[in-house]
Amino acid sequence: MHDAMRLPALREIIGALIFGANRPITARELRQCLQEVASEDSEVAVFAEASIKDIEREIRALHDELQLRETGFGIYEVSGGWRLQSNVSCGRWLKNLLKVKPQRLSQPALETMAIIAYRQPISKAEIETIRGVGVSHVIKQLMEVQLVKIVGRSELPGRPFLYGTTSRFLEHFGLKSLQDLEQIGPRVFTRKMQADTGETDQTEDDASSDNQDDVVEETDKSVVSDNEKGQVDESA
Amino acid sequence: MHDAMRLPALREIIGALIFGANRPITARELRQCLQEVASEDSEVAVFAEASIKDIEREIRALHDELQLRETGFGIYEVSGGWRLQSNVSCGRWLKNLLKVKPQRLSQPALETMAIIAYRQPISKAEIETIRGVGVSHVIKQLMEVQLVKIVGRSELPGRPFLYGTTSRFLEHFGLKSLQDLEQIGPRVFTRKMQADTGETDQTEDDASSDNQDDVVEETDKSVVSDNEKGQVDESA
Amino acid sequence: MAQDEYKVDLEVFEGPLDLLLYLIRKDEVDIYDIPIERITNQYMEYLGVMQMLDLNIAGEFIVMAATLMMIKSRMLLPVEDQNPEEEEDEGDDPRWDLVRQLVEYKKYKDIAGQLQEREYYQEHVFGYGGSNAGAKDVEDPGVALHDVNLFDLISAFQEVLKKAPPEELGEIAEDRFTVADQIDTVLKTVRTDGHIRFSQMFGRMASRNEIICTFLAVLELLRLRQISAVQDDHFGDILIQPGNPDEAMELGEGAGSSEEGAVHA
């Protein structure tokens, strides 16, 4: 097998690494790998010079090639890294071959997931205020399947746990990063992007986020200001 | 999102199946899968007509495409079936990647690991008080991969087991001794516990705190990675 | 009641806000101008049915009932008696706190729907070696109603109940039906006929007891995924068909939905 001796092209190395990584891998990780191997072996030292930009260019070239050649799978960005995955249009055959049972979230679990995703870090009590019903059981299950994790503790009395999303959450919903959530519910997200440390800060953003809700006409403004009041009272 | 509705070409289905099969797959198996799905859904009934010859022709076409486009991996015939594998010439990079950045410990496993490391000797009940959820399963898994062991029994009613870290724990987290934990502070773990959205954080964390033992991730995955690794080793 | 023999321990994970949103949508009323009397009456009706069925409902339902009653009585007060010094705005409206809560919740409910779409999409996506982020085994699939919302079912059940012959005093036929028996009957019917309309299931039933037992049997079978329920239109008739217990693991509990014809209230 003299093929092993042949020096591969940068694109091939990157393709092989993304293929073999078994998890989303970042351009940064790819560069680190190239540099590490280069430092061990002068023969391939040239690859240490590849910049993040170079690497990303090759990833895109690979992406385009696979797309174009209709291989049935491609390179996609998921949970902050690149990985190979099958085309969604071929899903039913893979489901048949692998006999997988997809894991689906129930409606209450999805709603709790949505609240945690957009309002993280958030305590159980705050989630329950929004949902109007207990969520202990749902949170426990979301944690068991690693879609939700404890990200800290609140400064409030009793120091309740604060919950947030995991990287598995991103994978499960096929999101590149938390920024992707913005596309789903942009206004809600802005609240989260602004300082979400102080409880009072949230009220302002409520104002903007509520606007997106249908049915709303001119009454909206006063509605919103009242909303702020209510919110403050509650969280205090 | 509506890509799922598009009817793929035979070649794509075959590519996706070989990609996802998780083992060498034969043309016969591919045909069976095509027929099964066709029988369930008349929309894709046309694929039931694909003969072994048709399928083999598409496999060869895929093989040639991947070869030609220098993707770094290709379709090969292994033990009677077809599967994707990385090019031998890229072996050293994969070897580096898979050794240095193996699979992650799951979030619950990491958190439990952190609590045990910093509070040992500690009982299950105490860990559960801190984490707020049951940890029996996670502890069992951490013990299975020898990162955690029973170090004694508490004097409390019921004489519960007390858990502590193993020497393997030190190896895996790159620690000289338990004293090292003091210097690090809970940083290694707490960072992980924060929202892991930042790519840089993730890579660093992976490098510092992860280890080969993937406690809760899919077994499939680790099988595949071992597989890959074995293969790389052989070819190197 | 005979249903005691086979206790359906169906925990209701939807809350009172879900029920209110359901009623608001069903009646196509403006969320910002809820006809409080009408909605309160309907709410109490649903609550009554859930209590009659002995479903495991959360205390929040009762609290909400009290809140609705209070709002209703405050709405009856003459306007002059309500803070005459303040200008007329929504802040004076006793409904406002509730509206705010509903609007806020609805926002996340809508997002949840979109997350669900993504989830279904991801089900069809596999990584190398068949790894699929959505395909991990869950030990506890939880209590899960498929396809239609619990409130859809209760709504349909109410219709049936209204048409049922009135209970006769001193009737002793009650013991003739049990939930366990009805489970067998429903399963047999569904498996033989392929599917059956919910509204027709109770066609020839003579007593309320039989209807209630049958309904509880349906709930239990849905929970066990032996059957599934699909609704063609929002608030349309519900179709009961054989389930597929192996089809999907559903995490969490409460009403979920299926890929096709899923309806959320």
Is the separation of the CB atoms in C189 and C196 below 8 Å? yes
Q: What is the mean pLDDT of residues C193-213?
A: 81
Flag whether C113 is in a domain: yes
Q: pLDDT tens digit string along B201-230?
A: 333 333 333 333 333 333 232 223 333 333
What integer pLDDT is reported at residue B115 of this predicted model? 87
What integer pLDDT is reported at residue B229 of this predicted model? 35
- Which of residues C196 and C69 earns the better pLDDT score? C69
CB pair distance less than 8 Å for A70 and B9: yes
Residue ranges making up the domain that contains C133: 2-79+91-261
3-state class of A197 per DSSP? coil
SS (H, E, C) chain B: CHHHHCCCCHHHHHHHHHHHCCCCECHHHHHHHHHHHHHHCHHHHHHHHCCHHHHHHHHHHHHHHHHHHCCCEEEEEECCEEEEEECHHHHHHHHHHHHHCCCCCCHHHHHHHHHHHHHCCEEHHHHHHHHCCCCHHHHHHHHHCCCEEEEEECCCCCCCEEEEECHHHHHHCCCCCCHHHHHHCCHHHHHHHCCCCCHHHHHHHHHHHCCCCCCCCCHHHHHHHHHHHHHHHHHC
Q: How far is the C-alpha of A44 from the C-alpha of A48, rounded, in Å?
A: 8
Q: How far is the C-alpha of C26 from the C-alpha of C28, rounded, in Å?
A: 5
CB pair distance less than 8 Å for C128 and B84: yes
CB pair distance less than 8 Å for B199 and A15: no
SS (H, E, C) chain C: CHHHHCCCCCECCCCHHHHHHHHHHHCCCCCCCCCHHHHHHHHHHHHHHHHHCCCECCHHHHHHHHHHHHHHHHHHCCHHHCCCCCCCCHHHCCCHHHHHHHHHHHHHHHHHHHHHHHHHHHHCCCEHHHCCCCCCCCCCCCCEECCCCHHHHHHHHHHHHHHCCCCCCCCCHHHHCCHHHHHHHHHHHHHHHCCEEHHHHCCCCCCHHHHHHHHHHHHHHHHCCCEEEEECCCCCCEEEEECCCCCCEEECCEECCCCCCCCCC
What CATH number does domain A107-228 carry, 3.40.1160.10, 1.10.10.10, 3.30.1330.10, 2.40.160.20? 1.10.10.10
CB pair distance less than 8 Å for A19 and B203: no
What integer pLDDT is reported at residue A25 of this predicted model? 92
Flag whether C86 is in a domain: no
What integer pLDDT is reported at residue C132 of this predicted model? 64
What integer pLDDT is reported at residue C91 of this predicted model? 55
Highest mean pLDDT among B58-67, B95-104, C135-144: B58-67
Is the separation of the CB atoms in C60 and C16 below 8 Å? yes
Q: How far is the C-alpha of A21 from the C-alpha of A28, rounded, in Å?
A: 14
Flag whether C85 is in a domain: no
Q: Do domains B3-98 and B107-228 have the same CATH topology?
A: yes
Closest C-alpha to B74, from B95, B92, B89, B56 = B89
**A43/chain C closest Cα distance in angstroms:** 30
What integer pLDDT is reported at residue A182 of this predicted model? 81
Give ∠ CA C123-C128-C129 in degrees, rounded to 5: 90
Flag whether C135 is in a domain: yes
Fold (topology level) of B3-98: Arc Repressor Mutant, subunit A (1.10.10)
pLDDT band at C143 (very low <50, low <70, confident <90, very high): very low
**Integer CA distances (angstroms), C241 to A209, C156, C261, in order:** 40, 16, 13
How does pLDDT run along chain A (236 residues), one tens digit per residue?
445 567 899 999 999 999 988 788 999 999 999 999 999 888 899 999 999 999 999 999 999 999 888 899 999 998 889 999 999 999 999 989 988 777 778 888 999 999 999 999 999 999 999 999 889 988 988 998 889 999 999 999 989 999 999 988 998 898 988 988 887 765 544 344 333 333 333 333 333 333 333 333 333 333 333 333 333 333 33
CB pair distance less than 8 Å for C13 and A138: yes
pLDDT band at C171 (very low <50, low <70, confident <90, very high): low
Task: Determine which of B93, B99, B210, B226 to mutate to test the interface with A (most A C-beta atoms within 10 Å).
Answer: B93
Flag whether C122 is in a domain: yes
- Which of residues C207 and B9 earns the better pLDDT score? B9
Domain chopping of chain A, boundaries: 3-98, 107-228
Chains that touch B (3 or more CB pairs under 8 A): A, C
Q: Give me the residues of C, 73-92, that contact A with CB < 8 A.
A: 89-91
Chains that touch C (3 or more CB pairs under 8 A): A, B
Contacts of C257 in chain A (CB under 8 A): 107
CB pair distance less than 8 Å for A72 and B100: no
- The answer to whether residue C138 scores a pLDDT higher than 90 is no
Q: What is the mean pLDDT of chain B?
A: 74
Provide ipTM, 2 decimals. 0.66
**Is this structure's pTM higher than 0.90?**
no
Domain count, chain C: 1
User: Which residue is closest to C258 within chain A, CA to CA?
Assistant: A104
